[in-house]
Amino acid sequence: MPNIINLEIGGRNLSIEIGKVGKQADGSAFVRYGDTIMLVTATCKKELSGEKNFLPLIVDYRENTYAAGKIPGGFFKREGKPSEREILVARLIDRPIRPLFPEGYFHDTQIVALLLSADLENEPDTLGIIGASTALYFSEIPFTTPVGAVKVGLINDQFIINPTASQLEKSTLNMVVTGNEDGICMIEAGANEVEEEKIMEGLILAQEEIKKIVAAQKELFHQLNIKKMEVEAKKPDPEKVKKIENEISNELLQAIQIKQKKASEKASEEILNRLLSQIPKENTEEINEIKDIFYNLQKKLVRDLVLNQGKRADGRAFDELRPISIEVGLLPRTHGSALFTRGETQSLATVTLGTFEDVQRLDGLGEEAEKRFMLHYNFPPFSVGEVSFMRAPGRREIGHGALAEKGILPAIPDEETFPYTIRIVSDILESNGSSSMATVCGGVLALMDAGVPLKMIVAGIATGLVKEGERYAILTDIAGLEDHYGDMDFKITGSEKGVTAIQLDLKIPYLTPQIIREAFLQSRQARLKVLEKMKEALPAPRPELSPYAPRIITLFINPEKVADVIGPAGKMIKKIVAQTGAKIDIEETGKVTIASTDMESAEKARQMIREITVEVELGQVYTGKVVRLEEYGAFVEILPNVVGLLHISEVAPYRVRNIKDEISLGQTITVKVIDIDAENNRIRLSKKALEEGDKGRQTETSGRNHSHSSECRPHNYSNSRSRNDRNRF
């Protein structure tokens, strides 16, 4: 019989059933929140496969489209490779779980999270973390520190635990917090300039709810007789460790403190190779042992340098940034570009401005949507002096790009202000730590170089931590060695006012609020310095777009005129596109977007649309063409697709016996609108009224016949990103 955990989180019931399904796995959790249901399983190989000194953990997350009652798009009609969202959620599950396995556990382990039901209001990401913790904890796998996770929103300065999807649309904060009973172990957040102290309030509130989830897991665990796999960390021979430390410690410490990364790595490698040269190549076990001793000593020296000598490997103070250099407008044919270098980390960021045709179409569980701002991060092997194949972006590249995109997104102008599709590409040309934060800085500078009217200027910085017992040191702008041998990677992006994105990852079980608060303060001080440097290079977005960027014009027409602009079977709009070469997007709301690389073509298309959509006004004078003659009068096209009746009695101030005596087919005549019957869609015209009226006024108004085609007043419209309410040509 399955064991069940039920508790209230965020005003709704969280249910976790252990052993309900997936019973062949080592552990399984059937997690339900609202009508969102997820199955998470944990499985490990019982035998070690080869010699390893790392945890081979695989985390897979899949969103089955049937969960939301959909059939997959595309030709094959089945789920394919994981989407970016699925990869990001898999990473979200992996990051807090990985550091909590015991030292020496090197068995192949897999967590599989399957979304089975989605109500599209209760988001599944936190359920994946809770499910992974439960599946691992209630299995023989040696995972003994359960975690909980909640999402925190902020609406009207009030925090909401596990906000719904509709609430998140109004929230200035979207923060996933994972923790155990002692503290916080992972944060992933996007925000709209929220102050650090306010975020601290949200973290403390989240920890209270997390403790409930952890306590519920532990309470049930103590009732069950679950035996855990025993793991014993392999320890090297103490005499051998002491001998190697005495032999190379001073030399290795000097190598670590060489400021140039490649020179430091080369010097360290020479020391290691000298040690290994004394061992026969067939003694692989001993070679691996020596390598472990060497890397453990290197880690010890880096950490001792910080905690005992108050120094960093490259000689900087704990709160000191590496030197920053910036070059904007580097690439002449891109729409915007910037080369951002901080220490030995370098990002070449480019911006491309596209039209409405360039949006990314997302086929998710909910309504098909579009994305007009994208950031893509590339990490070629040469950036770290390595040789390998350049393949499709991996999980790391997708994760770093998503973080940078999240950090910059609040600065992107809305579509009404700047109706462009925007793509940033960050190519990391050199890397020695914190390349995702260099991407944020370079990306923002490239946007400014492209003339994008940003809402704010955003920068990013990564802080690290070295902690032994109660002693700790927080390090600003961590380099690669400090990231590798340190305990924390705390990335924060933001403006002068507040935070726009957070990503916290740890190698220790948790952080206390005090350490997080200090890290926030130190990060903010560094961020303000980086923003200063960025503004020195480019104080504000350029006033003009690149001459190579497309020109976009937006106008609003009466929604009832949309069909007139399109015409029967698209005849009218195709004619405009053929004559101007412009791209045209028409929404049912009456919003018309015209794009062209040539401004003259865009203006021509706008003028043609204005002429089609101009409204007929009572008492106004028009010059039109006679398109039909009847005994009772003539039909005159006074505007494109707008025809009025000139009755025989309104042709002249005298009696006209035969309409053909006065007017011929195809003739161009000037008439006045004397009546509009909107209900029956009839317009009455008069030529007689002009001849009886003021001749001077006739001359004046007839000169305005075509300039009258002004834009209609803007209508209220929805900014829906659905593809069902627009036509593109």
* Start-end of H helices in 138-278: 165-168, 196-223, 238-256, 261-276
Percentage of the chain exceeding pLDDT 90: 78
pLDDT, tens only, 286-338:
898 999 999 999 999 999 999 999 999 999 999 999 999 999 999 999 999 99
pLDDT, tens only, 44-91:
999 887 777 889 999 999 999 999 999 887 778 888 899 999 999 999
Whether pLDDT at 703 is above 50: no
Share of the chain residues as helix, strand and coil, in percent rounded to the nearest 5: 35, 30, 35
| Two tokens, residue 693 | 């009226």
- 123 and 36 Cβ atoms separated by less than 8 Å: yes
Kindly report the average pLDDT of the chain as a whole number: 91
pLDDT, tens only, 358-389:
998 888 787 778 899 999 999 999 999 999 99
* Per-residue confidence (pLDDT) for residue 706, from 0 to 100: 35
* Per-residue confidence (pLDDT) for residue 4, from 0 to 100: 95
Whether pLDDT at 159 is above 60: yes
pLDDT, tens only, 177-210:
999 999 999 999 999 999 999 999 999 999 999 9
Give bridge partners of residue 325 from the DSSP assignment: 341
At 560, is the pLDDT very low, low, confident or very high (cuts 50, 70, 90)? confident
CA–CA separation, 335 and 338 (whole Å): 11
Whether pLDDT at 712 is above 60: no
CATH architecture assigned to 324-492+509-537: 2-Layer Sandwich (3.30)
In the chain, where are the structural domains located?
A: 3-223, 238-307, 324-492+509-537, 551-614, 621-702
- Global pTM value: 0.86
Range of 107-111, 570-574, 591-595 with top mean pLDDT? 107-111
Which strands make up the sheet holding 12-18, listed edge to edge?
A: 3-9, 12-18, 27-33, 36-44, 109-117, 57-63
- 463 and 519 Cβ atoms separated by less than 8 Å: yes
Q: Which amino acid, one-letter code, is at 601?
A: S
| Two tokens, residue 606 | 């706008």
pLDDT, average across residues 395-404: 96
pLDDT, tens only, 510-541:
999 999 999 999 999 999 999 999 999 999 99
At 718, is the pLDDT very low, low, confident or very high (cuts 50, 70, 90)? very low
CATH architecture assigned to 551-614: 2-Layer Sandwich (3.30)
* Block residue for tokens 């904060």: 173
At a CB cut-off of 8 Å and minimum separation 6, what does 206 contact? Answer: 150, 152, 161, 175, 177, 179, 184
Q: Which amino acid, one-letter code, is at 251?
A: E
Alpha-carbon distance values, 400 to 80, 91, 351, 375, 477 (Å):
23, 11, 17, 10, 16
| Two tokens, residue 213 | 């989830």
Give bridge partners of residue 194 from the DSSP assignment: 499
Angle 84-97/395-408 helices, nearest 10 degrees? 100
- Class (C level, CATH) for 3-223: alpha beta
Q: Which of 149-158, 165-174, 376-385, 566-575 has the lowest mean pLDDT?
A: 566-575
Range of 517-531, 614-628, 630-644 with top mean pLDDT? 517-531
Print burial letters for 550-579: b (CB count within 10 Å at least 16), e (below 16): bbbbbbbbeeebbebbbbeeeebbeebbee
At 725, is the pLDDT very low, low, confident or very high (cuts 50, 70, 90)? low
Query: Considering just the CA atoms, what is the radius of gyration of the chain in Å?
Result: 34
User: Would the CATH topology of 3-223 be identical to that of 324-492+509-537?
Assistant: yes
At a CB cut-off of 8 Å and minimum separation 6, what does 349 contact? Answer: 337, 338, 339, 340, 424, 425, 426, 427, 439, 442, 443, 445, 446
CA–CA separation, 288 and 423 (whole Å): 45
Percentage of the chain exceeding pLDDT 70: 95
CA–CA separation, 129 and 389 (whole Å): 33
* Per-residue confidence (pLDDT) for residue 426, from 0 to 100: 98
- 594 and 583 Cβ atoms separated by less than 8 Å: yes
At a CB cut-off of 8 Å and minimum separation 6, what does 172 contact? Answer: 154, 155, 191, 192, 193, 194
Cα-flanking dihedrals φ and ψ of residue 245, to 5°?
-60, -45
Whether pLDDT at 225 is above 80: yes
Domain 238-307 sits in CATH 1.10.10 = yes
At 603, is the pLDDT very low, low, confident or very high (cuts 50, 70, 90)? very high
Q: Which of 419-433, 456-470, 697-711 has the lowest mean pLDDT?
A: 697-711
Output the DSSP codes for 399-455. HHHHHHHHHHGGGSPPTTT---EEEEEEEEEE-SS-HHHHHHHHHHHHHHHTT---S
pLDDT, tens only, 440-463:
999 999 999 999 999 999 999 999
CATH superfamily of 621-702: Nucleic acid-binding proteins (2.40.50.140)
